[in-house]
Amino acid sequence: MSTKRTKKKMNKKKKLMRTFLFSMMWTVLVCVVGATTVVGCYNYFFKHDGGENSAQAGSNKPNKKDEKAPDIYKNVAVFGVDKDGYRTDVIFVVNFNSVTNKVKVISLPRDTKVKWSEEQKQSLRDLGKRTVSVSKLNEMTAYGGIENIRLFTINEIENMLGITVDNYVIVNIDAFNQIVDAIGGVDLYVPQNMKHTDYAGDLFIDLKEGYQHLDGDKAEQFVRFRSYPNGDVDRIAAQQVFLDAFADKVLSPSIITKIPKIMGILFSSIKTDAELGDLTGYYQYVNSFNKENLTFYTLPGEGRYEGGASYFFPDHDELDKVVQEVFYDKVPAGEEPEEAEVIVDKTVSVVILNGSGITGAAATASEKLTAEGYAVQEVGNYTRSDVTATMIIAKDAKKAEQFKAYYPNAQITTNDTLTTDIQIVLGADIQ
């Protein structure tokens, strides 16, 4: 084989690998994206592998480089199921829009109250199942069967949001654990001590507050913990923090050696109704996508007790606004109007903790902020010295935004129990 031909094949493999790499981000990031783009890559591989079939079929076709990738506008429902496989503990709807080059993810609280319609009840009867009048959104698969998820749960989501769901993806918690382990875990800030024991559900949560490394088991504990001040809303916020940290890890160069293992997990553990032929354009979209154009939303509303049960009640007035922003956005990425100016409040109390392993980093940071007019109340060492990314922890996230001017890559996390307004944990990225 000639050197030129060998290089050509190597470049093709690299391109396929890059596509697959991006698909990994989607896999656990929102579960669905991984499934759909992996299937798209699979389709692309067998149609464009440089073999005899592609050479013969492509002899009279225009150059692929000159072809415009097909526009994509898809809504995909994502479900993370518990160990018994009947209840959907995690529910997302992901909107792909290649015209705006954005991906928007809206999380739906599992406790969302559902009033079963007469049509839905009749569908239960037709399946020989007992009827129910009221339930939580995540319980619909328990009553109707996970195999009938489109007939009940997806039908309810479509009615709630006023959209059409094109495809769905189901990922079980074991696959989640395996994939997190396969990528080497993730690093993030745990906002509070998390302790919960559920023998029936085989769930044992024991995490300490602070910046730490989460393997698959700890990641499951983090995303399934529920005892927050605002219930499911805070739980979803924590899940979205995890997904963002996961994306950063998957996009790192070290992930390339882990792809074969991840691929095996994906194809053995994910269920989807997406057909290979539906996804031929996805790989081009994924290749050009910028993570900065990924946005998370949560179904607006509030949780409260009704009839002795805890439910989440959507705020339908606010929901209309969110639906417009998520599913009907027409502004291309990068052309949005400028965001409101960050409010600078130098009266906030600040604590700086050094987790970077760099001697004197906290003192240096304190001097800089003090010179800018901030009141730094305390400087010290964090409980760890191997923190990779700087964290800004605040009672009010709006007051934390001003410190992004000094630490642009820092992750902002809220914590109502702080004794000061702002706590900055310095990571190795300050170098």
Residue 60 lies in a domain: no
Q: Cα(147)–Cα(191) distance, rounded to whole angstroms?
A: 36
Q: Cα(357)–Cα(335) distance, rounded to whole angstroms?
A: 40
- Provide CB contacts within 8 A for 317, sequence distance 6+: none
Question: What are the CA-CA distances from residue 107 to residues 79, 211, 327, 345, 379 (Å)?
Answer: 10, 24, 13, 32, 38
Question: What are the CA-CA distances from residue 368 to residues 118, 382, 428 (Å)?
Answer: 65, 19, 17
276 and 363 in a single domain? The answer is no
b/e for 71-101, b at 16 or more Cβ within 10 A? eeebbbbbbbbbeeeebbbbbbbbbbbbebe
Residue 5 lies in a domain: no
183 and 271 in a single domain? The answer is yes
In the chain, how many domains are there? 2
Range of the domain at 425: 349-430
Question: What average pLDDT does the segment 278-288 reach?
Answer: 54
pLDDT at 272: 82
The CA-CA-CA angle for residues 301, 304, 305, to 5°, reads 150
Closest CA to 85 of 302, 296, 269, 306: 269
Residue 256 lies in a domain: yes
pLDDT value at 23 more than 50: no
159 and 289 in a single domain? The answer is yes
Pairing type for strands 194-198 and 203-207 reads antiparallel
In the listed set 270, 293, 327, which residue is the last one of a domain according to the structure? 327
Residue 68 lies in a domain: no
b/e for 140-160, b at 16 or more Cβ within 10 A? bbbbbebebbbbbbbbbbbeb
CATH number at residue 420: 3.30.70.2390
Q: Which residues pair with 77 in a beta bridge?
A: 93, 168
Q: Cα(408)–Cα(200) distance, rounded to whole angstroms?
A: 44
Q: Mean pLDDT lowest for which of 144-153, 286-295, 368-377, 397-406?
A: 286-295
pLDDT digits (tens, 9 = 90+) for 187-214: 888 888 999 988 776 779 999 988 889 9
* DSSP assignment of 13-31: HHHHHHHHHHHHHHHHHTS
pLDDT digits (tens, 9 = 90+) for 90-109: 898 989 888 898 889 899 99
210 and 304 in a single domain? The answer is yes
User: Within 10 A of 320 (CB to CB), how many other CB atoms are there?
Assistant: 12
pLDDT value at 49 more than 70: no
Structure tokens at 152: 């009940």
CATH number at residue 97: 3.40.630.190
Residue 240 lies in a domain: yes
In the listed set 292, 327, 362, which residue is the last one of a domain according to the structure? 327
199 and 310 in a single domain? The answer is yes
CB 383, CB 409: distance < 8 Å: no
Q: Which residues pair with 114 in a beta bridge?
A: 135
228 and 356 in a single domain? The answer is no
Residue 111 lies in a domain: yes
Residue 274 lies in a domain: yes
pLDDT value at 242 more than 70: yes
pLDDT value at 244 more than 60: yes
Could you tell me the pLDDT band of residue 175, with boundaries at 50, 70 and 90? confident
Indicate the DSSP class of residue 429. G
Residue 152 lies in a domain: yes
pLDDT at 324: 94
315 and 365 in a single domain? The answer is no
101 and 179 in a single domain? The answer is yes
In the listed set 294, 327, 360, which residue is the last one of a domain according to the structure? 327
Q: Which residues pair with 430 in a beta bridge?
A: none
177 and 282 in a single domain? The answer is yes
Run of H or E including 76: strand 73-81
257 and 406 in a single domain? The answer is no
pLDDT value at 328 more than 90: yes
pLDDT at 292: 77
164 and 206 in a single domain? The answer is yes
194 and 322 in a single domain? The answer is yes
pLDDT at 345: 93
